[in-house]
Structure 1
Amino acid sequence: MEHPYVTLNVENKVGYVEFFHPNRNAMPSEVLSKLEQIIIDAGKNDAIKIIVLKSGGNRTFCAGASFNELIAIENAVVGKQFFLGFANVIHAMRKCPKIIIGRVQGKAVGGGVGLASATDYCLATQYASIKLSELSIGIGPFVIEPAVSRKIGTTAMSQMTIDAETFFSAEFAKTKGLYSDVFETVEELDEAVQVLAEKLASYNPEALKEMKTVFWKNTEHWDSLLAERAEKSGKLVLSTFTKNTLKRFK
């Protein structure tokens, strides 16, 4: 049986952060909090100049929130706590003093699109289509919205949110600015990620750190904003509509 994990491997001054869950890389709380901590640790590790965020397996980059855990939420406090898991990973990525490159090998749904959006530069394969399915299960992409809108704009974000059951192609994601480039194969993707990461690792770390703060300017209020959004999702997940919908999906 494959078990969930989050690992950090350092090669040539690049810290490869990898997460995995046997259920299409869905994100239960425990994986989210490990991911947050590993990103914080990598940010403080002097042996690491650049971070790459990737996931295990070859089909799905990240299926978003864990449905099993969503179904089990019984009150608003627990609900808010669950959605703060995603908020905390986004905060860790945003505040990390190092540039984070995203490696998206397959589909990204909901929170997975949020993770891709919170990277500083994202590369993907042609199979890396994206979907914001939250409205169709009775909630909304509230916590990840600031990260997604910052990357692809409110228009594309709202289009995806409303067309909640549609996968938008990797080409769409590239056109909107989520992916900087799209490759035909995982091998080509990995090569491009490695070349870029190692090149960046040879640049002046002080300049990279200063640029990172420029990239993320005007997001200082996200600490309170994402907490409010987590509360909103936490309440909606308790609605009869969402409970019934999740049971169907299960």
Structure 2
Amino acid sequence: MSNGSLYTKINNNIATIEFGHPASNSFPSELLVRLTKAFNELSVDDEVHVIILKSEGEKAFCAGASFDELVAIDNLADGKKFFLGFANVINAMRTCKKPIIGRVHGKVVGGGVGLVAACDYVYATDQAAIKLSELTIGIGPFVIAPAIERKMKISALSELSLNATKWHNAYWCKENGLYADVFEETKSLDNYVDDLAQKLAAYNPDGVQEMKKVLWKGTDNWTELLEERAEISGKLVLSDFTKKALEKFKK
């Protein structure tokens, strides 16, 4: 469990990916690699028509990147590689031929917000507040910013990134386009996720695939763009400001 868990199941043309980690469902690099691989494999699986992304437990949906790995970075190559983990997942979600439904049951931080934004359609509970706290430790949400801006527009990205200590509640997220709908109970959330998944699974797969291309039009440069952003983050994480902030946070 130190590297987290990831399970995929397929039933009635619906694939469900469920990830987990003891540290509030955060992502060590290995788990990001596994998630990227899962999306790439499901993209070309003819048995799969739609994908549901969810996480384990009843508390946080995702606490972002692994803090322990972040603290351990001591050179640019490792820094860039670390942030490429989220870049690769977002690009795998972007290029995946199947629509991805996000099922968000709790709070989301940092890189987790990027994954939610990269989903094609998201349902959430009223506990699913979000926060981008990267600037508080001297780095920024550079890799995930394109996905957030695409879904929520530049004004919301500005509010989230610059007001880095503030939690924004689920209804704010709905108003700004991240969530399609918000539910008070997890049971209602699951019912709506299952209902939409079943409908999408019954549609013409070729038609759905073409629709996904339309929805992601204009993002063909993201492979290069997110790599450039990963390098920016990789440099900043080595700064004295960030090292001191991480050490303070660790204590």
User: When the two structures are superposed, what TM-score results if normalisation uses the length of structure 2?
Assistant: 0.98
Q: Are 2:82 and 1:94 aligned?
A: no
Please list every run of 5 or more consecutive structure 1 residues that lacks an aligned counterpart in the other structure.
none
Aligned to 1:151: 151
Measured after TM superposition, the shift of residue 98 of structure 1 is: 0.5
Measured after TM superposition, the shift of residue 188 of structure 1 is: 0.8
Aligned to 1:104: 104
Q: Say how many residue pairs are matched.
A: 250
The 3-state SS of whatever aligns with 2:61 is: strand
Distance (Å, rounded) in 2 between the aligned partners of 1:221 and 1:247: 36
Deviations 1:139-196 (A, max 9, x none): 0000000000000000011111111011100000000000000000111111110010
Note the 1:45-194 alignment, pairs <5 A. 45-194=45-194
Distance (Å, rounded) in 2 between the aligned partners of 1:4 and 1:27: 7
Amino acid at match of 1:105: H
Tell whether the 8 Å contact from 1:101 to 1:119 is kept in structure 2 after alignment. yes
Measured after TM superposition, the shift of residue 2 of structure 1 is: 7.9
CA 2–79 in structure 1, closer or farther in 2 if over 3 Å, else same? closer
Tell whether the 8 Å contact from 2:63 to 2:109 is kept in structure 1 after alignment. yes
Aligned to 2:33: 33
Tell whether the 8 Å contact from 1:3 to 1:22 is kept in structure 2 after alignment. no
Deviations 1:87-136 (A, max 9, x none): 00000000000000000000010101000000000000000000010001
Aligned to 2:239: 239
| RMSD across aligned positions (CA) | 1.0
Deviations 1:207-239 (A, max 9, x none): 000000000000001111100000000000011
Amino acid at match of 1:215: L
Measured after TM superposition, the shift of residue 65 of structure 1 is: 1.0
The 3-state SS of whatever aligns with 1:64 is: coil
CA 29–2 in structure 1, closer or farther in 2 if over 3 Å, else same? closer
Distance (Å, rounded) in 2 between the aligned partners of 1:97 and 1:143: 22
Tell whether the 8 Å contact from 2:174 to 2:180 is kept in structure 1 after alignment. yes
Amino acid at match of 2:71: I
Aligned to 1:195: 195
Distance (Å, rounded) in 2 between the aligned partners of 1:95 and 1:184: 32
The 3-state SS of whatever aligns with 1:15 is: strand
Aligned to 2:23: 23
Deviations 1:58-106 (A, max 9, x none): 1111100111100000101100000000000000000000000000000
Amino acid at match of 1:122: V
Measured after TM superposition, the shift of residue 247 of structure 1 is: 1.4
Tell whether the 8 Å contact from 2:3 to 2:31 is kept in structure 1 after alignment. no
The 3-state SS of whatever aligns with 1:187 is: helix
Measured after TM superposition, the shift of residue 138 of structure 1 is: 0.7
Amino acid at match of 1:112: G
Tell whether the 8 Å contact from 2:5 to 2:19 is kept in structure 1 after alignment. yes
Measured after TM superposition, the shift of residue 248 of structure 1 is: 1.7
Distance (Å, rounded) in 2 between the aligned partners of 1:206 and 1:14: 15
Q: Which runs of 4+ in 1 moved over 2 A?
A: none
Please list every run of 5 or more consecutive structure 2 residues that lacks an aligned counterpart in the other structure.
none
Measured after TM superposition, the shift of residue 3 of structure 1 is: 6.6
